[in-house]
């Protein structure tokens, strides 16, 4: 089968499985680049793609595009997923799957997030705006931060949140995560109060309650790009130097807070809705204070007269 048709079949299959639009777009962009590289090297059929082809492509991305190891690993994951799918539908066998013996590059994992002081600074800024201007943007943007802090949601999950997903009686909110997996999250009392206040504000502002919780000035669903722009402007206003100031940083802060408060790994995984424990383990390894506490408690030097 021609590589371009194999890629199209893979994209169609992922679309049928209701993989998120963002993930589909990422696949399309990456495979367009990979396919063009193969065509430039006179490789047009799936059977012509070898281990050497893929390694050469990754080397090209590293040298010509300046891709870091983490980016190269992301591309390799996508290519592996493609060829594993082709193996699954018996278009090729395990023996001839060119990705099987290609290992990942060692990449330094750096997880940064906000400090408590930065969180308080942002919340104070929007509280003042709410009191002074009483504008739609100040109410909405303040709730965005509170919502992300309290739920640890991904930005796409937040943008897709509807008022019908919120149960303010039983203090629960339904979130549609990756692969459209549905999960209920508990709502703490503080978030519940903020949602009620914001809901009343929106009903007065628009004359009726919009379908989505987070909307633009026309009452239409807020896009991921619009949220990213909100935080770009906020970073300039706050003059943050040591953090990206994006929606995902609030998810990381949420994870850090859970772990430092003593939440076990299973609880953290469930609340963050990680499909695998690997990512959860990174957070736990970075932010857990248990090891330090145990070392302080049981260190041999504490019981020696030196």
The residues, any chain, with a CB within 8 Å of residue 230's CB and separated by 6 or more, are 141, 144
Q: What are residue 273's phi and psi, to 5 degrees?
A: 60, 40
Q: What are residue 173's phi and psi, to 5 degrees?
A: -135, 135
Yes or no: say if 273 and 177 are a contact pair by the CB < 8 Å rule.
yes
* Residue 279 domain-assigned (yes or no): yes
Could you list the residue range(s) of the whole structural domain that residue 27 is in?
3-96
In a 3-state reduction of DSSP, which class is residue 173? strand
**Same-domain status, 198 and 250:** yes
CATH number of 281's domain:
1.10.443.10
**Same-domain status, 258 and 137:** yes
* Residue 297 domain-assigned (yes or no): no
**11, two tokens:** 């994209």
Yes or no: say if 78 and 29 are a contact pair by the CB < 8 Å rule.
no
Average pLDDT by consecutive 10-residue portion of the chain (306 residues)? 93 88 90 95 94 95 90 93 92 87 76 86 92 89 94 90 93 77 85 94 94 95 93 91 86 86 83 77 68 65 67
Yes or no: say if 30 and 78 are a contact pair by the CB < 8 Å rule.
yes
> Nearest CA to 75 among 93, 59, 52, 87?
59
* Residue 193 domain-assigned (yes or no): yes
| Sheet strands side by side (includes 172-176) | 166-167, 172-176, 182-186
Q: How far apart are CA 204 and CA 202, in angstroms?
A: 5
In terms of Cβ atoms closer than 10 Å to its own Cβ (0-12, 13-18, 19+), residue 217 is: exposed
CB-hemisphere CA count at 13 Å for 94? 0
Q: Does the predicted TM-score (pTM) go above 0.85?
A: no
Give me the torsion for CA of 242, 122, 231, 223, rounded to 10°. Answer: 150
Q: How far apart are CA 136 and CA 148, in angstroms?
A: 18
* Residue 302 domain-assigned (yes or no): no
Written as one string, the DSSP assignment of 18-57 is T--HHHHHHHHHHHHHHHHHHHHTT--BGGG--HHHHHHH
In a 3-state reduction of DSSP, which class is residue 140? helix
Q: How far apart are CA 148 and CA 14, in angstroms?
A: 28
CATH number of 88's domain:
1.10.150
Q: Is the dihedral of CA 255, 261, 265, 271 positive or negative?
A: negative
* Residue 298 domain-assigned (yes or no): no
Q: How far apart are CA 241 and CA 238, in angstroms?
A: 9
**Same-domain status, 39 and 154:** no
At residue 165, the pLDDT reads: 94
- First-to-last C-alpha distance (Å) of the chain: 73
> Nearest CA to 160 among 175, 173, 179?
175
**Same-domain status, 14 and 149:** no
* Residue 111 domain-assigned (yes or no): no
Count structural domains, the chain: 2
Yes or no: say if 40 and 46 are a contact pair by the CB < 8 Å rule.
no
* Residue 296 domain-assigned (yes or no): no
**Same-domain status, 190 and 236:** yes
């Amino acid at each position: 089968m021609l590589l371009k048709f194999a890629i199209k079949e893979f994209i169609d299959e992922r679309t049928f499985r209701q993989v998120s639009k963002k993930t589909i777009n990422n696949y399309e962009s990456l495979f367009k680049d990979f396919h063009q590289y193969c065509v430039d090297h006179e490789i047009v059929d799936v059977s012509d793609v070898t281990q050497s082809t893929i390694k050469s492509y990754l080397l090209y991305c590293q040298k010509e595009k300046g891709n870091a190891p983490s980016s190269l690993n992301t591309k390799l994951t996508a290519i592996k997923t493609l060829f594993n799918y082709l193996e699954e539908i018996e278009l090729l066998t395990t023996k001839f799957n060119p990705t099987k013996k290609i290992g990942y590059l060692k990449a330094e994992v750096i997880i940064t997030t906000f400090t408590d002081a930065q969180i308080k600074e942002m919340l104070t800024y929007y509280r003042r705006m709410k009191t002074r201007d009483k504008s739609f943007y100040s109410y909405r943007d303040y709730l965005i931060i509170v919502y992300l802090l309290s739920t640890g949601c991904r930005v796409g999950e937040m943008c897709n949140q509807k008022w019908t997903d919120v149960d303010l009686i039983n203090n629960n909110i339904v979130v549609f995560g990756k692969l459209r997996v549905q999960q209920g999250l508990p709502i703490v009392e503080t978030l519940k109060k903020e949602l009620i206040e914001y809901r009343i504000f929106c009903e007065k502002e628009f004359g009726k309650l919009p379908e989505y919780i987070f909307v633009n000035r026309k009452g239409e669903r807020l896009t991921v790009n619009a949220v990213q722009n909100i935080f770009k402007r906020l970073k300039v206003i706050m003059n943050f130097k040591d953090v990206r100031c994006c929606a995902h940083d609030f998810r990381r802060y949420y994870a850090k807070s859970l772990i430092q408060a003593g939440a076990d790994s299973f609880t953290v995984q469930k609340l963050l809705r990680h499909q695998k424990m690997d990512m959860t383990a990174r957070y736990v390894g970075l932010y857990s204070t248990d090891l330090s506490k145990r070392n302080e408690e049981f260190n041999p030097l504490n019981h020696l007269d030196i």
